[in-house]
């Protein structure tokens, strides 16, 4: 309800929408892919990309196992009535799109939420390529995904209650420490409640 978000000292409300959208890549927890080829889905990140640039983005996003399992490779149509991809596979395709876009700011909102352990591992590898030289804002409940962040902010009811690096927050032995170590105890309501 108040305050501002600034990029390079400029309030985002004062940045033309097209410029702002070219500055930020988004990868949401349930990234939607359109009914089109894998190639076209990734090209949404950069419409004038060459096929080789798309393939490089797919490699960086750890997607070659997906491509190789289909006879039509990158030309395989996914989406409604197309080929089915798991949630983790869709996330990796969405990451390839963000890698291809190469925006200076990346917003990752629960990007591993629907991934099984194998896909989560591959997504983590893809993050390494995606975040190189970028400003990254990562929203996550899985603390393993934020452990290497330069700054971690712990939110509770919309307010920052702790901030610091992983090591600093562990040393504070506060909420982050409890969450990271699984120390939060569930107490069930008493029969009287």
96-138 per-position pLDDT tens digit: 999 999 999 999 888 777 677 787 788 888 887 778 889 989 8
Asked whether 42 and 60 are in contact (CB, 8 A), the reply is: no
Query: Which residues contact residue 11 at a Cβ distance below 8 angstroms, ignoring those fewer than 6 apart?
Result: 4, 5
60-110 pLDDT, tens digit each: 999 999 999 999 999 999 976 667 888 888 888 999 999 999 999 999 888
pLDDT tens column, 22-58: 999 988 887 778 899 999 999 999 999 999 999 999 9
Pairing of strands 135-139, 36-37: unpaired
Contacts of 16 (CB under 8 A, 6+ apart): none
Selection from 104, 100, 88, 93 nearest residue 19 by Cα: 104
- Please provide the average confidence, as pLDDT, over all residues in the chain: 86
How far apart, in Å, are the Cα atoms of 82 and each of 31, 34, 57, 69, 92? 17, 10, 22, 14, 17
Q: What is the pLDDT of residues 143-193, one digit of tens each?
A: 877 888 889 999 998 889 999 999 999 999 999 999 888 854 444 344 443
**Beta strand spans in 23-117 (E):** 24-27, 36-37, 77-78, 105-109
Q: What is the pTM of this model?
A: 0.80
User: Backbone phi, then psi, for 164, in 5-degree steps?
Assistant: 155, -175
Cα separation values, 172 from 9, 27, 142, 157, 164, Å: 32, 31, 19, 20, 10
User: By the 8 A CB rule, do 107 and 94 touch?
Assistant: no
CA distance 166 to 38: 36
């Amino acid at each position: 309800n108040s305050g501002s978000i600034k990029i390079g000292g400029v309030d985002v409300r004062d940045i033309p929408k097209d410029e702002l959208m070219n500055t930020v890549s988004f990868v949401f927890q349930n990234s939607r892919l359109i009914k089109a080829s894998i190639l076209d889905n990734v090209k949404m990140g950069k419409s004038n990309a060459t096929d080789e640039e798309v393939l490089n983005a797919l490699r960086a996003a750890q997607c070659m196992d997906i491509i190789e399992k289909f006879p039509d490779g990158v030309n395989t149509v996914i989406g409604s009535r197309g080929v089915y991809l798991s949630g983790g596979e869709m996330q990796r395709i969405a990451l390839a799109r963000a890698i291809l876009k190469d925006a200076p700011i990346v917003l990752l909102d629960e990007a591993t939420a629907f991934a099984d352990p194998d896909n989560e591992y591959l997504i983590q590898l893809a993050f390494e390529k995606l975040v190189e030289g970028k400003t990254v804002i990562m929203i996550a409940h899985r603390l393993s995904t934020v452990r290497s962040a330069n700054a971690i902010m712990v939110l509770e009811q919309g307010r920052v209650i702790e901030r610091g690096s992983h090591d600093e927050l562990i040393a504070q032995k506060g909420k982050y420490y409890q969450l990271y170590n699984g120390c939060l105890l569930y107490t069930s309501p008493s029969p009287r409640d």
